[in-house]
Structure 1
């Protein structure tokens, strides 16, 4: 990976990645395709997904021969046949490790490659799978610590690395009574999404950090918080968490808010 500064400094993204069937949504695919086309071509992609919690910070496989992580159950067989043979990113892995504080342990998992929180959106944004991709774990769910992690990773953007936090703006799966793609969003999902929309518009990081107490629709919108947590890595990596965020994707899928962000 070229570690010199690049004039094509990518923004940071927070993507509501959905389940594997979200790729069957023509609207979402169109929105995400257009978003990818508007970005400068990255030198590499670094993904922090809601689907990998591991402490200490763990760096995934850089070997393209490592199979994808099919971390979902009960779907049609065709979703388990998806491939995404993007190049590995060993140099990026070394850079990430070097950015962590002295004395802080770093782990490596050579058997874990991209999970669906990473590869599902990438199959839409970069379908040729010709950009190196690395996934690292969520080492904590504490918003302040994740914000600090994002700040440490921010210099990678000057090297052309696209940093993606992949989660979901609402993720109350246990409370969905209608799981069809065009389901009317439950009140808790719509209320949380409206609140988040306002916070993103205002750059209200203080409220976002305290979302478990301040957001309407809780705890139904996030009975577990891992799907909102990657947002804080993205905010930290933006360099200015209080900036108004671009929100190129909104609306609902299966009643869940798929609002996604672009942070410059």
Structure 2
């Protein structure tokens, strides 16, 4: 049975994956205006153990290949909470942020050099109202909520990537932030909210992790979120603190859940949700979806 704890070869699954992934990515068709707006995505990003999960790596790559290759990517990660709205450094090859601890050295040596994203930074700034100016955070690279899944989805590193901070925990404000980014999708920009559908790390024990058991608080929250997404019930999703089963264990902090509101805002109201990845890792829901 797959276990992310102390793999025999750290990132060995990624090593086995990357050759075919690069070949497939070289043949990836690029987005054109005739394709129409790209969907908005919410993904569970997995942290370094993603690189030891061959199935998850393949799922993320297949998801990206099923879409035209975007002209650029704007990603909101659970791991950067900052107000006012801030953007990562758009310069090419900006060093990554290794914002995790307790893993093998290999993961801190992984790189993901992406092209200059200055043009995207200008478009994002122009999309914001005068009352919400954008701060350019020079020197701030992509954190693991961004570069880890993107390294599987776009392994060539040939798409400009910019990270946007989470300026608030309030669903309404994040929906509004997403709505300001909606027009970017019509220009070939892939808007991504990156979190984890359940993230009760303090409540995981070694048995849950090594045997990939699923606590009821995780499965109950996941089922509730899946049903609310399927019926387009944004009000229910926004009332997760009081309505969702499994709280607060599923999300003792809300940072990994709330990026989905940026995704939903960028997609627009009453748009169909398509689940792309399901299942669990260390008892946590990997549920990921796109909204057309």
1:36 maps to which residue? 64
Matched, 1:167 2:159: no
Report if aligned partners of 1:56, 1:106 keep a CA contact under 8 Å in 2: yes
- Aligned residue runs from structure 1 range 1-264, under 5 A: 6-8=33-35, 9-178=37-206, 180=209, 182-240=211-269, 242-264=270-292
Asked if the contact 2:41/2:191 (under 8 Å) is kept, the reply is: yes
Contact 1:17/1:166, CA 8 A, preserved across alignment? yes
Contact 1:182 1:253 in 2 (8 A): no
The separation in 1 between residues aligned to 2:211 and 2:278, in whole angstroms, is 14
TM-score, scaled relative to structure 2: 0.86
Structure 2: give runs of 5+ residues left out of the alignment.
1-31
Structure 1: which 5+ runs fail to align? none
Deviation at 1:181, TM superposition (A): 5.6
SS of 1:7's equivalent? helix
Indicate if the aligned counterparts of 1:181 and 1:253 stay in contact, CA closer than 8 A.
Answer: no
How many residue pairs end up in the alignment? 259
CA distance in structure 1 between the aligned counterparts of 2:158 and 2:47, rounded to whole angstroms: 23
Name the CA distance, whole Å, in 1 between partners of 2:91 and 2:120.
Answer: 13
**Higher normalized contact order (CA 8 Å, seq sep 6+, divided by chain length):** 1
Q: Structure 1: which 4+ aligned runs deviate by more than 4 Å?
A: none
1:92-134 Cα offsets, whole Å, 9 max, x none, are 1011111111132321111111111001111111100001111
Measured against aligned partners, the alpha-carbon deviations of 1:223-263 in whole angstroms (never above 9, x if no partner) come to 000100100000000022x3331001001000000000110
What TM-score do you get using the length of structure 1 for normalisation? 0.95
- Per mean C-alpha deviation after superposition, the further-off stretch among 198-207 and 157-166 is 198-207
